[in-house]
Amino acid sequence: MNRLFEKYKNEAKPLLMKKFSLKNVMQVPRFNKIVINMGVGIASQDPKYLELALKDLELIAGQRPVATLAKKAEASFKIREGMKIGAKVTLRDQRMYAFFDKLVNVAIPRIRDFRGLNPNSFDQQGNYSMGLKEQVIFPEINPDAVKHFQGMDITIGIHCHAVEHARELLKIMGVPLKDK
C-alpha cells in the first residue's frame, strides 16, 4: 500500500472524525480522483508539440493520457472543431496516491520562489485546483531534453460535505497551503 494512503487511513481519518465530530466514517472527507490537464494551444500550428506533451504527461502520471478535442471552432486561434488541442489523465486509487505523494513531497518543493499554495482555490464541492507553469519540476522530466515548457492544471477531487473539511484534509496530508 502507498505510504500516503496509510497516513490517510491511520492518521487523517481519526483526526478529522474527532475534529469535526463526525459520527460515521463515510462522512470523513476522502480523495476521489486527481485530474491532470494540459492545454497545448501551440498544437494547432504544429502537432508535434501535442505528441511531446502526451509523452511528458505519461511520464509524470504513470498512465497513458488522452488527447482532448476542441469543442468548437475559433478562427482567431486557427482552431477547428474536433482538432486535438490538449491532453488529460484521470488518476484513481493507488496511482492517485502515488502521484499525490510525488506532487507534495518532490514536485511542489522544486517550484521556484514558492511561498505556498493558494488556500482559496476550492470550489463549492471541496475540490482543489492548482496550476503549474512548467513540467520540469517533476523528476521524470529531463530539463535538458525539453523543447517547449508546458504548464498544467491539477484538480484534486475530494469527496466531502464542507470546504473546511477538504482544506483540513489537505493540511493533514502535507499540502503546503499559505496562511490566509
Confidence check: pLDDT of 180 > 70:
no
Share of the chain above pLDDT 90, in %: 16
3-state SS assignment for residue 159: strand
The three-class DSSP label of residue 176 is coil
pLDDT at 110: 83
Q: Where are the beta strands (DSSP E) in the chain?
A: 30-39, 66-69, 84-91, 128-132, 152-159
**Per-residue pLDDT tens over the stretch 94-134:** 899 999 988 888 888 888 888 888 888 888 888 999 888 88
User: How far apart are the C-alpha atoms of 94 and 71, rounded to whole Å?
Assistant: 32
Q: What letters, b where the CB count within 10 A reaches 16 and e where it falls short, cover 120-151?
A: eebeeebbbeeebebbbbbeebeeeeeeeebe
Given a cut of 70, whether residue 44 has pLDDT beyond it is no
Q: Which domains, from first to last, does the chain contain?
A: 3-38+88-172 (3.30.1440.10)
φ, ψ of residue 177 in degrees (nearest 5): -85, 145
Instruction: Compute the average pLDDT of residues 27-33.
Output: 90
Asked if 73 contacts 80 with a C-beta cutoff of 8 angstroms, the reply is yes
